[in-house]
Amino acid sequence: MRFHRPGFAFMVALATVAIVATAGRAQTTRPSLKEALAALKIPPDWFADTAPQWDTSRPWKEGRVEIRRLLAMSDQPQRIREAVKLTWLYAQKNDIGDGHELPMYLFMSGNYAWAALEYQRYLARVAGRGATHAYLCYASCLAHFGEYQQALEVLDRAARDLPPDPWRINGMASIQNLRGDICAEMGDLAAARRAYEEAIRLYPQSNQPYGRHLLQRHAAKIQNKLDLLAMRSLESARLRDGTWTGRALGYSDKSDVIVTVVVRDGRIADIRVKHDEKIELSATRIIPQRIIEKQSLRVDAVTGATVTSQAIIDGAFQALKQAGLK
């Protein structure tokens, strides 16, 4: 039996793919999953106006590099659509590896209903092979539409279908991390704390063959989530004026996400992000805007770029603690 074992970049994503904990905030209006699936058309109408400049007779190992390049152009919606169409075309000719990248690239491109449908099909095919990353992404899709109980049930399935050593502990830690996010989103803060605490306990124990130097930092990121659950609101905080800088682990293992926060008259006036993230779906622009608009760190993540979103929130949190946030 072949198990799914993540490569290093996959491991980083697996460790932190999640919706950001946002307990207590107003929910963004969006269609239900049922409504989104009812409106879903495959392939979508916009395929007719999307013409990728890529020869799909070239092998998938080259095509996937081009797709990732296009997905990185988050400020150019047409390039994102080209990436989706290319992925679909390769899938139609059954030249897409083991198939996990079809739902993954749909998820990363923001096509959450389509991704949820494809993840359901994919996981039915690979049950018993420890496809933790797919379970996490599927649960995140469900949570995006407010289907929290279904998302938790998917995480229960993931916990019963862990990869073997040396990735077993990492997989369970990642499941607990996402469980904490979803419970926080539901407002069940006690359950969120328990899940986060278990993830913090597990990550440093992982015996994975590479990426072990980042495990303590993954645990520290989750500790930040715990701190945010207990943090008083920014409205009641007395922030000192000035320019403050924090840093956090993002998707890239080569450099941190550096977040500079400007506080003026006791309020967040500006946020600048320095990063080497590749596929971030404009999170480096959207998340600072949301924090400034709400004057809060409890904001929606950009689904599909939640690792980067959480890094920006973590970096801003570190910066604001220097400004007096408790």
User: What is the per-residue pLDDT across 44-69, written as a single tens digit (0 to 9) for each?
Assistant: 999 999 999 999 999 999 999 999 99
Does the N-terminal peptide bond of residue 31 adopt cis geometry, omega within 30 degrees of 0? no
Count of Cβ atoms closer than 10 Å to residue 289 Cβ:
12
Percent of the chain with pLDDT over 70: 89
Distance CA 261, CA 273 (A): 9
- Whether 316 contacts 271, CB under 8 Å: yes
Q: Could you identify the residue written with the tokens 């006791």?
A: 266
What pLDDT is attached to residue 230? 77
User: How sure is the predictor about 235, in pLDDT bands with cuts at 50, 70 and 90?
Assistant: low
pLDDT surpasses 60 at 126: yes
Q: Which domains does the chain have, with CATH numbers?
A: 8-230 (1.25.40.10), 234-322 (3.90.1010.20)
User: What is the per-residue pLDDT across 89-104, written as a single tens digit (0 to 9) for each?
Assistant: 999 999 999 999 999 9
The whole-model pTM stands at 0.81
What pLDDT is attached to residue 11? 38
Query: What is the chain's mean pLDDT, rounded?
Result: 88
